Amino acid sequence: MLQEQFRPTASGAVYGVILNLRPQLQALGPALDKPPYGKPPQAPVLYIKPPNTYLPGGGEVYAPEGVEALEMGACLAIVIGRTATRVPEAQALDHVLGYAPAIDVCVAHESLHRPAIRQRCRDGFLPIGAVAPKAAALRLNALDVALFVNGREQSRYSTADLVRPVARLLADVTDFMTLFAGDVLLAGLPPDGPQAGIGDRAEVRIDGVGSVGCVVAREARAPVLRSSERSVGG
């Protein structure tokens, strides 16, 4: 049996959702009817951001060698407050601790149907802000999620554009997988996220929830240890 797990803030597994914004579906258009899709998604399309991607409070994110800009995805992060398994839509928000602004950082890539592990799961590729209590998001289904680069607005969408609003999304996801306290769902990902180059500052602002920012820097490659410098078992 799965055991209850409690964490006070966002610190667990992170699951992003693509194709959950109407503008993203519209941007793909007829491509959704062709391979590998065949038809528009009938269930949430998830991807994982592992724990190494967490960057609490923001900071520097590092572009890998040969990459001059990173894609910035403005997200509403849904932070789970208690174990959620097969929760009905009407009760889904009872399992939410609160909400946080987040930036899903990614190395730009063309394909949505191949796992983008190297592009999306690099260290520090999830700047995430403080968790605001549920009561702060008074207009949960009409929140503006805006992304700025160097102080200039580059993208904006509303949670009213979500194909699956927060409660419906939680119900659909927990129908086949359990979410624990501290886990995070990124409610949506806008199409063609704006890019921030070396030295640029990106910031996500969500009214009533908060803001979080990051600065793109060049990745400093650590020297590779020679076998004689490695230790086993301490």
pLDDT tens column, 210-223: 999 999 999 876 55
Predicted local distance difference test score (pLDDT) of residue 72: 97
| pLDDT for residue 62 is more than 80 | yes
- The tens digit of pLDDT for each residue in 121-142 reads 999 999 999 999 998 888 999 9
Q: Is the pTM of this model over 0.75?
A: yes
Q: Where are the domains of the chain?
A: 14-219
Of residues 96, 55, 75, 100, the one with CA closest to residue 181: 96
Taking the C-alpha atoms of residue 64 and residue 132, their distance in angstroms, rounded to an integer, is 32
45 vs 35, 116, 147, 153, 183, CA distance in Å? 16, 13, 23, 28, 17
Q: Which two tokens stand for residue 201?
A: 């500052």
Phi, psi of 164 (to 5 degrees): -115, 105
Token readout for 143 is 């929140």
What CATH number was assigned to the domain covering residues 14-219?
3.90.850.10
